[in-house]
Amino acid sequence: MIRTRFHRLRVRWRRWRLFRAYSKVAKIRTGCVSFIPIMCALEAMERDGHLELDDGDVEWHWPEEG
């Protein structure tokens, strides 16, 4: 039980760190803050195959998942 909670927390933390890195890059490239870097980060993550956006649902893909 504790192991599964810890695993979920760790996965959430990894996703947040990955998204944060993409957001920082997008913020530097666009020179803007707020909504535009978030959308650019999501677009870049989708292009790189880390996630799929489908009608507001986010499906994450990690490199080891193939």
Domain coordinates in residue numbering, the chain: 2-65
Instruction: Quote the pLDDT of residue 1.
Output: 87
pLDDT in tens, 14-64: 989 999 999 999 999 989 888 999 899 989 999 998 899 888 788 888 766
At residue 61, the pLDDT reads: 85
Please report the pLDDT score of residue 66 as a whole number: 42
Cβ–Cβ < 8 Å for 59, 52: yes
Phi, psi of 58 (to 5 degrees): -110, 125
Burial of 12 (0-12, 13-18, 19+ CB in 10 A): exposed
**Residue 23's pLDDT is what?**
93
At 62 the pLDDT is 76
CB 25 within 8 A of CB 37: no
